[in-house]
Amino acid sequence: MKVSLILPVYNEQLVLEEVLARYVKDLKQLKSAFPKVSYEIVAVNDGSNDASSEILNKYAALNKCIRVVNFDGRFGKQAAQIAGFEYAKGDVVILADVDLLNPEGILSTIFSRVVGEASNESEPKIQQNIVYGYREFIDGERHKQTFSEKMTNFATKVFGIDGNFVGKVNISAFSRDVVDVLKALPERNKYMRTMDRWVGFEIDTLIYASEYSKAEIEKKVQELKSRHSAYAVELAPRRDKVRENSETKLYSLAFLVCSFFALFMFIAGVISGKLDFAIIMLLGILYVALLMVSGMFYLRSVLLKRVGVIYYWGKKSFYNIKSILN
């Protein structure tokens, strides 16, 4: 049996070495508990512009269990995880973040949930197809749902998505069966966070605590900063944007066209001068607001494409989209 650990990596130079070392240690521990299990790490570099790629290459050269997949731009965490699914060969696939908050031993713990009580000598068998790990306790306190988590909770109920949304999943494990079903789905823009529920396997939940408190993490990051000179790359003051796909652009264009049409209706209502049009006028105002917003977005995407750079008044930050798009 093989375990694949998929790590999406975007500008993680500060913690990457430490996290990789921890995960490798964890996987070795897993192997000593289950001698019949081999492992691999698939690190998907999501267009990092810091030293992440050097660090990954160095580790991949040292440890042949690590494979690196490089994106040519930033496509976002979901896309990185999906690419990881394509490359992972494991019978069990674990998705984790490059994250110092996960406690040591988390990989063995979640793997044990998947295979249940396996005797050391025999080949472990899949008992549970999906396990979600929630890092619920930080500083000994239970994590409170954020607004976006509440909204997701609400949306999963409204749209009848299977399962309860407990909160943010910090680590998850899938059997090969689940991975194959997810890979076979024809959607081009896969959103794992809901699709993995939708495929219909039973889900087990693992609630765990972070290893460090928030203050300890702060301290650790400071420490890492001070001894991180070997790789640290000063990042340009650029706000990297996740690459939009052409569908998103098409939607915003369609929205713009509809808004123009609505504006036309509004003007027609005003010109005919009837009080009955009060509601239409109100709607018209709303449409104008939407028009302005969508127009701005559209204009911005045109500018990003044509000019490549947008400066913000009063702020130093700018997009240099050409290097991201190509």
What is the residue whose two structure tokens read 């239409």? 280
Which H or E run contains 73?
Answer: none
Choice from 22, 74, 113, 197 touching ligand UDP (CB under 6 A) = 74
Question: In the chain, which residue ranges form alpha helices assigned H by DSSP?
Answer: 16-33, 52-62, 77-87, 106-115, 147-158, 176-184, 192-198, 214-226, 246-272, 278-306, 321-325
Residues that bind Mg ion (CB under 5 A): 97
Under the binding rule (CB under 6 A), the answer on residue 100 touching ligand UDP is no
Under the binding rule (CB under 6 A), the answer on residue 280 touching ligand UDP is no
Report the nearest approach of ligand UDP to the CB of residue 50 (Å): 11
How many residues bind ligand UDP (CB under 6 A)? The answer is 12
Under the binding rule (CB under 6 A), the answer on residue 8 touching ligand UDP is yes
Q: Name the residue nearer to Mg ion (CB basis): 91 or 97.
A: 97
Under the binding rule (CB under 6 A), the answer on residue 190 touching ligand UDP is no
Under the binding rule (CB under 6 A), the answer on residue 171 touching ligand UDP is no
Pick one of ligand UDP, Mg ion, none as the site partner of residue 176 (Cβ within 5 to 8 A by kind). Answer: none
Within 10 A of 276 (CB to CB), how many other CB atoms are there? 8
Q: Alpha-carbon distance 105 to 26, whole Å?
A: 5
* Per-residue binder mask for ligand UDP (CB under 6 A), 231-270, x = binder: -----------x----------------------------
CB of 242 within 8 A of CB of 76? yes
Handedness of CA 319, 320, 322, 326 (dihedral sign): negative
Q: Which residues bind ligand UDP (CB under 6 A)?
A: 8-10, 12, 46, 74, 76-77, 80, 97-98, 242
